[in-house]
Amino acid sequence: MLADIYGCPVSTVQSAEGGAALGVAILAGVGAGEYASVEEACDALVREKETHLPNMEAHRTYEGYYALHKKLYLDLYDDYKTIARLTENQG
């Protein structure tokens, strides 16, 4: 689904530790000088599990929904602020 939304291949990674722990290990390795860059650390530590290719027909559909979402957000922005103010005063 993410590949369809983004319109590009999306890969999942193998990680027994979980994504956040792996990210911390990558940054720690760079910070400690074990790797020269985040890219080098990723090349050494990250292993792809599988890659999902996008369905471009679905992507075009998602693009339409996203365009509508952006329009509605901008149109309703001030109303969201009003709702927030009204609900703050409800003790």
- 65's CB contacts (< 8 A; 6+ apart) are none
pLDDT number for residue 21:
87
Torsion over CA of 43, 44, 48 and 53, rounded to 10 degrees?
0
pLDDT number for residue 15:
74
What are the C-alpha distances in Å from 65 to residues 23, 47, 71, 72, 88? 32, 33, 10, 10, 31
DSSP single-letter state for residue 66: H
pLDDT number for residue 89:
77
pLDDT, tens digit only, all 91 positions of the chain = 999 999 999 998 887 666 788 899 999 999 999 999 999 999 999 999 999 999 999 999 999 999 999 999 999 999 999 999 999 978 6
What is the secondary structure of 11-59 as a DSSP string?
EEEE-SS-HHHHHHHHHHHHHTTSSSSHHHHHHHH-EEEEEE---HHHH
What global pTM score does this model have? 0.64
pLDDT number for residue 4:
98
pLDDT number for residue 69:
97
